[in-house]
Structure 1
Amino acid sequence: MSQRIGRKDADGVCTLTLDRAEKLNALDMAAFEALDAHLTALETDDAVGCVVLRGAGRAFCAGADLGDLDTPTERPPRFKPGVIERLARLPKPVIAAVHGVCFTGGLELALACDFILADATAKFADTHGKWGLVASWGMSQRLPRRIGLPAAKRMMMTSRIVEAAEAEGLGLVDLLAPAGGLDELVRTVAGELTANSGFTNTANKRLLIETDGMSLAQGLAHEHYRHPGRAPDWRERIDRFRRP
């Protein structure tokens, strides 16, 4: 596997680190192949209750590697958006931990995660228009669903940079830490997620994905039909709670 993305596991949390700091973690085909391989392993890894995606060096991700766009490949055209969709559907919660720039393809990567946590150094932008490109990794669908259509239009049609505080106000960032405080914030949220039942988190994520766009009546019927029952350790959890 390419070393574009490193993996480290601790206490039920898997941290995937984009490891191309000299290029601000720009995404080339090797990065997508590495992410695809990690996702394959994570889909069936019951020891992992939460995944954190972050970037090495000064940034989360500057976006697609523009020099890689015309590189010949045997991969089908849908490979890269397919990998991002696999990330979005990973059956466990995923945190994007953002510092520095999170631009364009990097933003599309973050939007596929369940939570975006950032520190005060974070900057967000969609610069497809600057290069005469059109997003194909989910920007036109995930960004307006997260921050609303008018704000998404402004970002997509102007390529303006959104600073961390504004991003939090828009709802693009779920939780914002001061500069240097991102690691502590990520540890806290990851700890809250892994303390919860992985069975429950997986079921909740699946139901939210499956019912997206349904009416309330359809969603309620789907929840009833697709209800997975109780976690294997539900009784143990309740017994621990009852102990003096």
Structure 2
Amino acid sequence: MTPTDLVLVDRTDATATITLNRPDARNALSRELDRQLRDRIIEADDDPEISVILLAGAGGAFCAGVDLKELAATGFTGDDRTENCIDRVAACTTPVIGLVDGPAVTGGFELALACDFLIASPTARFADTHSRVGIVPGGGLTARLADTVGIRRARQLSATGQYIDAPTALAWGLVNEVVESAELLTRGIQIATTFAAAESRTLRAVWSLYDGMSADAIADGVARERATNAQWSAAMEAVAEAGAAVIEHGRAQNRER
């Protein structure tokens, strides 16, 4: 491994475990991390010997969202948007299981929602702080979150920036299971192994049917969100100020738990 390895890939039989490897920044999505993750996802999805992708974060965090320090240096202009790692995960034909340990916040929450389903540890925390930063979501959050937990709960999360814990996420149907942090990868591989035991052509056909149902339910919402995001902009000073407030908001909420 070199310092530029912001994404690690480990293969176990027909399972590829892809790990965001920027733990010092809670795996925040810098441009370079986004690029490397997108490339590794494409490689795994294109590999005919990979039947399941596990997506995880290193160092006790899943993903803290877009790198606000990097964003604050440039500001935000939605009209220069290109395909990102969230889009690529959502487009995978290979099943993607998210393994969420620690925070999955804003862009990290979008990344989690782009997975086919989630397994979480007791330390998992989910929050949408787009409104606090001052940037409209662009990774499909409004559509996928409403589809997953219902529009009323989605409205509440996006308006308040409220963090929800793993038991709440399980009760709301956001995650499928909660297991101890030390067991998270093992449980992911166990599930992936059962997928690999299925007749592959049949499973691909069944999975494509579920993908079609999901697309039917959220495609218009994703398109509307992207159109709004493309018209949005935020000055670097505003992003910097909001970013500091968002970090303190997160610390305060998690201290209360």
TM-score (norm 2): 0.76
Partner in structure 1 of residue 81 of structure 2: 78
Percent of pairs with identical residues: 33
Aligned equivalents of 2:51, 2:216: Cα separation in 1: 28
Aligned equivalents of 2:34, 2:87: Cα separation in 1: 12
- Give unmatched runs, 5+ long, in structure 2: 218-257
Paired amino acid for 1:77:
D
Q: Does 1:31 align with 2:17?
A: no
Once the two structures are superposed, the pairs formed by residues 89-238 of structure 1 within 5 Å of their partners are: 89-212=91-214
Partner in structure 2 of residue 63 of structure 1: 65
Q: Helix, strand or coil for the counterpart of 2:182?
A: coil
Partner in structure 2 of residue 22 of structure 1: 24
Contact 2:20-2:37 within 8 A present in 1 as well: no
Paired amino acid for 1:67:
K
Q: Helix, strand or coil for the counterpart of 2:46?
A: coil
Partner in structure 2 of residue 225 of structure 1: none
Q: Helix, strand or coil for the counterpart of 2:192?
A: helix
For residues 212 and 53 of structure 1, do their structure 2 counterparts lie closer, same or farther at Cα, with a shift above 3 Å needed?
closer
**What CA deviation, in whole Å up to 9, does each residue of 1:62-101 have, x standing for no partner?**
111002224499xx83324x43222112111101000111
Higher relative contact order (CA 8 A, sep 6+): 2
For residues 24 and 174 of structure 1, do their structure 2 counterparts lie closer, same or farther at Cα, with a shift above 3 Å needed?
same
- Give unmatched runs, 5+ long, in structure 1: 216-244
Q: Which has the larger radius of gyration?
A: 1
Aligned equivalents of 1:44, 1:87: Cα separation in 2: 12
Paired amino acid for 2:15:
V
Alpha-carbon distance, 1:27 to partner? 0.4
Partner in structure 1 of residue 245 of structure 2: none
